[in-house]
Structure 1
């Protein structure tokens, strides 16, 4: 496989999301997948040869998923209604797929908690596509690719 063939699979992706037993459907965009090691600087005394960079903890940014409003919005609302009955950390999977449904890559997120759901601004003078955004916090990546 050439690099061009491999790159072609990453064009026009959609993101299928499931949280435990809840299939939330396909989203058009996914932002925030990442990991950051927080570093602490310590100046060395005596020799004054430099500053040590020491790893202290790992941070995971929130993941934001966005899509046009549609029938799958009902699945998100159903899941969020169960969350309001008692907040508990769950496991989520985000699967990047090509437009024909072929899986490119899958991420499994541990300790997922919904942070925010934002619906559309429904005003009569808006001609844009109405969208929804789901924001999830998590405690790291798990196995399950």
Structure 2
């Protein structure tokens, strides 16, 4: 058992249909919302029925310093011009020692946007990239 603080030493990996797109140091947007419709029943004045209507899934944004893995991300995004294929994906949260914290399977993944680094020699900041992906829901992760 590691004594590392899992909140401060986690990184994320992204695979699309088994192809590794590399490690990311930031991941936000893993979530869903159930839309609720309210129905009032005649003669029942002490409550209102709350019925689920649909589930929506937020886009996920992954960020990292610029690496050689950027070429694989660019190839995946470019493949959209050849026709839309909605693969499955996995995002894994890993500790610094490589042990698994959590894993999410995603259905029907589609790249929404990619933001490359600002390359300014006057700015000494780390060159970063951001990949935003959309999906149609969570799925069981194989091998778990």
Task: Quickly name the TM-score band, shorter chain normalised.
Answer: 0.7 to 0.9
Query: Any conservation in 2 of the 1:95–1:105 contact (CA below 8 Å)?
Result: yes
Unaligned runs of 5+ in 2: none
Between the aligned partners of 1:123 and 1:9, the Cα distance in structure 2 is 34
CA RMSD after TM alignment: 2.1
- Structure 1 residue 94: Cα displacement: 0.6
Between the aligned partners of 1:86 and 1:37, the Cα distance in structure 2 is 31
TM-score (norm 1): 0.86
Structure 1 match to 2:91: 94
Q: Aligned match of 2:63 in 66, 87, 92?
A: 66
For residues 81-100 of structure 1, give each alpha carbon's deviation from its aligned partner in whole angstroms, at most 9, with x where no partner exists: 22221111110011111112
- Structure 1 residue 35: Cα displacement: 1.8
Unaligned runs of 5+ in 1: none
Query: Any conservation in 2 of the 1:92–1:109 contact (CA below 8 Å)?
Result: yes
Deviating runs (4+, > 6 A) in structure 1? none
Between the aligned partners of 1:44 and 1:129, the Cα distance in structure 2 is 59
1:33-72 alignment, distance < 5 Å: 33-72=30-69
Query: Any conservation in 1 of the 2:18–2:89 contact (CA below 8 Å)?
Result: no
- Structure 1 residue 22: Cα displacement: 2.3
Structure 1 match to 2:138: 141
Residue 129 in 1 paired to residue 126 in 2?
Answer: yes
- Structure 1 residue 48: Cα displacement: 3.3
